[in-house]
Amino acid sequence: MPSVFVPKETLPGEQRVAASPETLAKLRDLGLDAIVESGAGAAAHFSDESYAKVGGRIASTAEVNQAELVLRVQPPSLAEVARMPSGCVLVSMIVPSQRLDVVEALRAKSISTLAMDLIPRISRAQSMDALSSQATVAGYKAVLLGAAHMPKLCPLLMTAAGTIPPAKVVVFGAGVAGLQAIATARRLGCAVEATDVRLAAREQVLSLGAKFIDVPGTQDLEGAGGYAKEASPEFLRRQREEVAKRVAEADLVITTAQVPGRPAPRLMDQGMVSSMRAGAVIVDLAVESGGNCALSELGKVVVKHGVTIVGLANLPASVPTHASELYAKNVLALVRLFVTKGGVIARAFEDEVLAGCLLTHAGEVKHAATMEMLTTKGAK
């Protein structure tokens, strides 16, 4: 019987796991021998016993040596790749532009890698879209972090001692994370304004009860798959000028703007931060890709010009139970495209979703953009 292995994540701070007891049971139903490393789900509050109850085998890391299918959240380290059997299938987040060394190691071992962060954004792949599911968690947690650091209350309150106005929130970027941040801030009673380079975002922002910040001369910058295209310096300048007026009055700013494969656009400079009220808060969700705010520091909460700037990384991992449940369902939906009933692992990967996220296969790098980066790296 082909085996699927779910290891315990080793990246510091990572508390998610790639399979929940619910999805492990469904992997078993496909005909796979499901093996879970002891303690893999502990941080997400899934006990070894809960996996064993649905037919999972609890084992040590050594079991990865025999696994035909490996499910992960974070990309494996070079040492972990070395322990994986040649020719196996790996399903994991990879972010290849940041881990070219891992890509090369996976290619060298002829591992077939299906990168969850490369899932094409098409209708039939929505159930597999891990970037969206995890961005939902990040957007929610960003507002809670902002509220926790603010020296003010969020909602409008009318009390015998006087009226407290609602906190003012500005959200940069109305993608999945931004829309969830808007919805969460509205639920807390905040007055919310948002900006985005995609015209389609305007209607979505308004539907959540927030105001959309219009930028003079706006052009639609929506690219393939619904991602935002990189904006011109001139547009970003106009956007900063228009949004700066709102930022100066904001109690909380949440930045979510990112462009796949590129550094995050710089939307808030030092001058904009210094214009904010003392005690205001910025939560920079793009800090891992360079940050939307010039003063953000990766993995830290700092105070600059009287403004608290939250640059904590990997926010989905701080909500591990639900983040894991969502990610595990994304993984299961993808696995069902190439594992047939009876546990047969098909390796053609011709389906458009599989082909779109196939990073390495049969000793080759199949993802064109990653291959180009490797070629450029080798030419230096």
Question: Residue ranges per domain, the chain?
Answer: 3-118+336-366, 136-318
Query: Which listed residue (3, 15, 20, 129) is catalytic?
Result: 129
**Active-site hit among 20, 92, 112, 132:** 132
Complete DSSP assignment for 317-357: GGSHHHHHHHHHHHHHHHHTTTEETTTEE-----SHHHHHH
Predicted pLDDT of residue 228 = 52
251 annotated active-site: no
Active-site residue, from 66, 126, 127, 219 = 126
> What is the Cβ-side half-sphere exposure of residue 322, based on CA atoms within 13 angstroms?
12
Closest to 119 in 3D by CA, of 323, 287, 286, 337: 337
pLDDT more than 70, % of the chain: 95
Q: What span, in angstroms and rounded, lies between the C-alpha atoms of 85 and 249? A: 56
**Does the structure show a pLDDT above 70 at 26?**
yes
**pTM for this prediction:** 0.92
- Please give the Cα distance from 314 to 48 (Å, whole number): 25
Q: Do domains 3-118+336-366 and 136-318 have the same CATH topology?
A: yes
Report the chain's C-alpha Rg in angstroms.
Answer: 22
CA distance 374 to 312: 30
Active site residue 132: yes
Query: What class does CATH assign to 136-318?
Result: alpha beta
Angle at 253 between CA 247 and CA 258, to 5 degrees: 110
**Residue range 350-377: average pLDDT?**
94
Q: Tell me, what's the pLDDT at 140? A: 98
Q: What is the mean pLDDT of residues 349-371?
A: 95
Q: Is a pLDDT exceeding 60 seen at residue 120?
A: yes
The percent of residues above 90 in pLDDT, for the chain, comes to 81
- pLDDT for 66: 83
Residues facing residue 89 across a β-bridge:
69, 112
* The pLDDT of residue 122: 93
- Catalytic entry in 227, 266, 277, 351: 227
Tell me if residue 351 is catalytic.
Answer: no
Strand 168-172 relative to strand 162-164: parallel, antiparallel, unpaired? Answer: unpaired
Instruction: Specify whether 72 is catalytic.
Output: no
Q: What pLDDT score does 85 carry?
A: 93
Section 223-252 average pLDDT:
75
Average pLDDT of the chain?
Answer: 92
From residue 318, give the alpha-carbon distance in Å to each of 10, 42, 263, 270, 276: 15, 13, 24, 29, 28
Q: Sorting pLDDT into bands at 50, 70 and 90, what band is 157? A: very high
> What pLDDT was estimated at residue 59?
92
Q: Which two tokens stand for residue 50?
A: 């809960």
Cα three-residue angle 263-13-42, rounded to 5 degrees:
140
- 3-118+336-366: CATH topology is Rossmann fold (3.40.50)
What pLDDT does residue 220 have?
Answer: 52
- Among residues 83, 121, 202, 238, the one annotated as catalytic is 121
Contacts of 376 (CB under 8 A, 6+ apart): none
| 246 classed as catalytic | no
pLDDT tens digits, one per residue of 177-222: 999 999 999 999 999 999 987 778 999 999 999 999 987 765 555 5
